[in-house]
A and B are shown apart, each in its own frame.
Chain A
Amino acid sequence: MMAKMVSLTIDGKHVEVPEGTLVVNAAKKVGVDIPVFCYHPKMEPVGMCRMCLVEIGRPMIDRATGQPLREEDGSLKIQFGPKLETACTTPVSEGMVVLGATEKAKAGREDNLEFLQTSHPLDCLICDKGGECPLQNLTMGFGPGESRYLYDEKKHLAKHVPLGELIYLDRERCIQCGRCVRFQDLIAADPVIGFSQRGRSLQIVTYSEPGFDSYWSGNTTDICPVGALTTTDFRFRARPWELRAAASICNHCPVGCNLTLNVRREAVSGGKWVVKRVMPRQNEAVNEIWICDKGRLGYHFGRQNAERLKKPLVRKNGELQSATWEEALELVAERFQGVGSGLITLASGRLSNEDLFNLGKLTQSLGGRSLLYTSMAGGDLTTQIGFAPGTNFADMGKESAILVVGSDLEEEAPLWWLRVRQAAKRGATLIVLNARNTKLDRDAHYSLRFPFGMAAAAVLALVNALSPKRPELPESIQELARSNELKGAAKAFAEAKDAVILFGSDGMGLAETQALAQACANLLLTTDHFGRPNNGLLGVWPRANDQGAWELGWQPSMNLPADLAQAQALYIVAADPVSDDPAYLNAFDGQKFVVVQDLYLSQTARLADVVFPAQSWMEREGSYTSGERRVQRYYPALQPIAALPPRVESPGTRRAPLLTGLRAELDGPQADFAIPAYLAEKLGFEGFAHASASLVFARLAAETPSFSGLTYQKLAEVHEQWPIVGRADMYYGGTAYENTQGLGAQLALAQNGASLLSWPQAADFKLPKLGGIAFPITRLYDRGATLMHSQLLHKRIGEPYIVLGEQEANRLKISQGGFVRLTFTESQQSVVVQVKVDKNLPERVVLAPRSFGLPVSGPTPVELKSAG
């Protein structure tokens, strides 16, 4: 439904905008700058800062006839109010005349800026916002030039106030616009910072433990119109104008947030180019202008630190020793030759499409098996009835339904949590179906709980409520199935014009998520919610490019330890199974030939025969496929590590090394897609590209149906986005970067139409009478390889722990913070971990966070004993 259009003039420019548009936005659309501080286009207006004052005139209406009055020349008679009005709170109306450049309006701005300057310290010289500061810019543009305030009477306030260990507050600089407070309250739903005191003493405070306890805190530094809020990461590290910007994609989760990596040469790193900060880059279909703190502050693993692998390692006399590329490649090619089906290539979704394509192709050429290293299945279904091109959470509202099942969405994919929540606020029916309470419940219309282990059955119960083809339901789901809540949710889902399902892996492993995905697919097929925009199935994958891996034909093994044990040769890329679960150690018996390709010498790499050093994503080019099936490019930000002295060349524009021939020239880590290509060349296989990611992508697109038609050029296409950010007028939307490097493109759906699948296995899952079951859960801040290099977040990550219900804790006579000995019934391994108590959990349930060193890949029987 199109909104009614309203026409008006702003500073003489004619504008036509939808009814309800605010004057300030209408002006921005025609390039008229109305300065703002408190207003932010992503938030409701509050009209606090009074910066956007303009003169507004409206046509006079004849009370008798209801017709507008006209001047003698026939033009509308306009009446201006006695006062200036705030453009940020006033919606447009037909025939309105907005004047922002009159003496009166200009005086209003000058007055306001003079007021703001009475307490602002004017320490732009050392302020991290200096150079990209709205107050600085607007004062230059609209300010009075001089202040009549007596300098001696300026209020001096604390300049070094840690709100937590991540965000610092400078009380003097704060202009009380409240953007940060409102962001945390309305968008992040973590009102952990607030205003205290009043009048001129109004100040930002936090009483959360730890301070500023939110995954979204970094965004407040972007939208802060002064340098009051700064991140510990960037504080005093560089001036904004000294930084170069490289477009990138976050690789922590499947959302695929668009990033800008700001780089600069750093003396304390020996003059190397380093990433100084990570900033959001606008993509209104993906992350809008936000990123979570993991994306912003967890990038350090890609930096060129001392622990990074720099040269290939080859095992000689039982020791891993440095070797040349030639030597290492030669050895691997020789050993892979003829291994045939004895080869297993194990790679994770941390790799790009190009990497996975070349790795898969090499494995295929050798006759081996490519296995995706993941804890979550169902990608075979998301490739068929996943998000269709044109799907965008931003377009979902009334008439849409969103079902989130088996996922703690804010922990697994923060931006999706944010966008789903906003869709719910716009009127989309949000159904949250989980075994336990999550933050998303607060916004849910239907918040349903199923017994632990019964996710697929719970979805089948929804189908059951709708479809005559009733799948059998196990006993323990019957109560939920009979509830009116569930029936209401099923009905709302079925009746929605558009509907999507997000399924995650909360408390589940491969088998369970496979069943869940199948149940979800059946629900979508039953209700005809697939194959068109804003419909389909979304996997909340553990890694950034898991969807891409599935699209390229990678699949996990349902019994990986056994498969690995049986293999003759292993090629493990961007995966560290041994750290995740010591059970995998059995696979490394010393007999088989093991090649590991990674950034660091991981636990698995230590067991390898050959280790290839890989380039981090910030040193190279590539593309990821997000969970929403959007293929997005990332660009090199840093020069790759080279053992040879670096050539002085500016980053940002540099492409992957152009190799005329291999061997002697190869130096330092190589791109993950290039290494298999080198091997292929050694082995004499045709059809591999190693020279650049774009060449690989061209082959990939030619050989993979869902990618067909995509090119790097296409992925780099952009169009105008709203709100406007990142240009000279960064006061408007904050310091997020404008997207000039590509919005990406969504994959086409598989050609063959989907039909109703067989009902998944949904056997009754009963909690044991003795011991307990450990269910894996995902925490945003985990102890995985990608976060442990970011020391900033260490305090937030903490030590390994498990979560128990109150009853369970009481039974074990243990309280929050106590220690418990956790023994895995099958393997009889045991660990001592700390306990957190969640009063809502049932007995016999143990929540075990993934990537905390606990070998829980799916529901696992355990025994618990208090350990003091």
Chain B
Amino acid sequence: MSLVKDALDGVKATFTGLATTFREMVSPPVTIQYPEEKRPVRTRFKGRHVLKRYDNGLEKCIGCSLCSAACPADAIFVEAAENTDDERYSPGERYARVYEINMLRCIFCGYCEDACPTEAIVLGDNYELSFTSRRSSIYTKEFLLEPVPEGGKPTPQKVEPGVYTRSVPVMKDPED
């Protein structure tokens, strides 16, 4: 009895296993053809930082260094300088002349994003962060800045005097 039963169980088990195999044979594949093909990230994914611009092309970053102060990994280096109306990078007096993130140190905690008073630094979707040397692990401002939006002008801009006197725009409280 038990022998027969054992044999039957064995067969059953085999087919149960094969059923999975056959099912997976016809279901769509999980793997994608990375890097030709890319999977979308979750909405709250924290990827590589992007430095944002206003619609007119001015940089949102005002060089306040609060991101750098907030960074627990000491990955961010900011060096500010003074804007003039002839050579304006951002609204207000101060802009980031140098903005660097050492991606070897970054832990993607997003504190920089939280600390930013102008919503200039945003952790984006990009997770492709390979580099071949320590030197190239330091992402510069030119690299991090998003492209000039349509209708905007690249920085530095020559602007009307007295228009961009405020560093921090009046922002509504976040609603979510």
Partner-B contacts on A (CB < 8 A): 123, 125-126, 130, 151, 156, 159-160, 235-239, 241-242, 265-268
Say whether B81 contacts A236, CB under 8 Å.
yes
Q: Which residues from chain B contact A242 at a C-beta distance below 8 Å?
A: 65, 68-69
Say whether A236 contacts B80, CB under 8 Å.
yes
Task: Give Cα A238 to B69, complex, Å.
Answer: 12
Do A125 and B66 form a contact, CB below 8 Å, given A159-B165, A267-B100?
yes
Say whether B93 contacts A268, CB under 8 Å.
no
Say whether A125 contacts B81, CB under 8 Å.
no
> What would 25 A/B residue contacts be, using CB atoms closer than 8 Å?
A123-B92, A123-B167, A125-B62, A125-B117, A125-B168, A126-B63, A126-B64, A126-B92, A126-B93, A156-B165, A236-B81, A236-B82, A236-B94, A237-B80, A238-B65, A238-B80, A239-B64, A239-B65, A242-B68, A242-B69, A265-B77, A267-B77, A267-B98, A268-B79, A268-B98
Q: Which residues from chain B contact A236 at a C-beta distance below 8 Å?
A: 63, 80-82, 93-94
Q: Which residues from chain A contact B97 at a C-beta distance below 8 Å?
A: 267-268
Task: Give Cα A156 to B98, complex, Å.
Answer: 29
Query: In the complex, which of the residues A126, A130, A159 has the most CB atoms of chain B within 10 Å of its own CB atom?
Result: A126
**Inter-chain residue pair count (beta carbon < 8 A):** 52
Q: Which residues from chain A contact B167 at a C-beta distance below 8 Å?
A: 123, 125-126
The smallest beta-carbon distance between A648 and chain B, in angstroms, is 11
Binary flags per residue of B62-97, CB closer than 8 Å to A gives 1, else 0:
111110110000000101111000000000111001
Q: Interface size of B by Cβ–Cβ distance < 8 Å?
A: 24
Query: In the complex, which of the residues B62, B64, B92 has the most CB atoms of chain A within 10 Å of its own CB atom?
Result: B64
The smallest beta-carbon distance between B105 and chain A, in angstroms, is 14
Do A159 and B93 form a contact, CB below 8 Å, given A123-B168, A236-B81?
yes
Binary flags per residue of B36-77, CB closer than 8 Å to A gives 1, else 0:
000000000000000000000000001111101100000001
Task: Give Cα A239 to B62, complex, Å.
Answer: 13
Task: Give Cα A151 to B94, complex, Å.
Answer: 22
Nearest neighbor of A125 in chain B, beta-carbon distance: B64
The smallest beta-carbon distance between B74 and chain A, in angstroms, is 11
Which 8 interchain pairs have the tightest Cβ spacing? A267-B98, A126-B94, A125-B64, A239-B65, A126-B167, A236-B82, A236-B80, A267-B79
Interface SS majority for chain A: loop
Say whether A239 contacts B69, CB under 8 Å.
yes
Query: In the complex, which of the residues B66, B68, B79, B166 has the most CB atoms of chain A within 10 Å of its own CB atom?
Result: B79
Q: Which residues from chain A contact B82 at a C-beta distance below 8 Å?
A: 235-236
Task: Give Cα A241 to B168, complex, Å.
Answer: 21
Q: Which residues from chain B contact A241 at a C-beta distance below 8 Å?
A: 69
Q: Which residues from chain A contact B68 at a C-beta distance below 8 Å?
A: 242
Task: Give Cα A125 to B93, complex, Å.
Answer: 11
The smallest beta-carbon distance between A267 and chain B, in angstroms, is 4
Q: Which residues from chain A contact B65 at a C-beta distance below 8 Å?
A: 238-239, 242
Interface status of B30 (Cβ within 8 A of chain A): no
Nearest neighbor of B65 in chain A, beta-carbon distance: A239
Task: Give Cα A126 to B169, complex, Å.
Answer: 13
Q: Which residues from chain B contact A156 at a C-beta distance below 8 Å?
A: 165
The smallest beta-carbon distance between A574 and chain B, in angstroms, is 33
Binary flags per residue of B145-169, CB closer than 8 Å to A gives 1, else 0:
0000000000000000000011110
Nearest neighbor of B94 in chain A, beta-carbon distance: A126
Task: Give Cα A225 to B63, complex, Å.
Answer: 23
Say whether A160 contacts B93, CB under 8 Å.
yes
Do A238 and B79 form a contact, CB below 8 Å, given A126-B62, A126-B93, A267-B98?
yes
Q: Which residues from chain A contact B25 at a C-beta distance below 8 Å?
A: none
Q: Which residues from chain B contact A126 at a C-beta distance below 8 Å?
A: 62-64, 80, 92-94, 167
Task: Give Cα A237 to B117, complex, Å.
Answer: 19
Task: Give Cα A242 to B79, complex, Å.
Answer: 10
Interface status of B170 (Cβ within 8 A of chain A): yes
Task: Give Cα A177 to B117, complex, Å.
Answer: 29
Say whether B80 contacts A151, CB under 8 Å.
no
Task: Give Cα A235 to B82, complex, Å.
Answer: 8
Nearest neighbor of A128 in chain B, beta-carbon distance: B94
The smallest beta-carbon distance between B119 and chain A, in angstroms, is 13
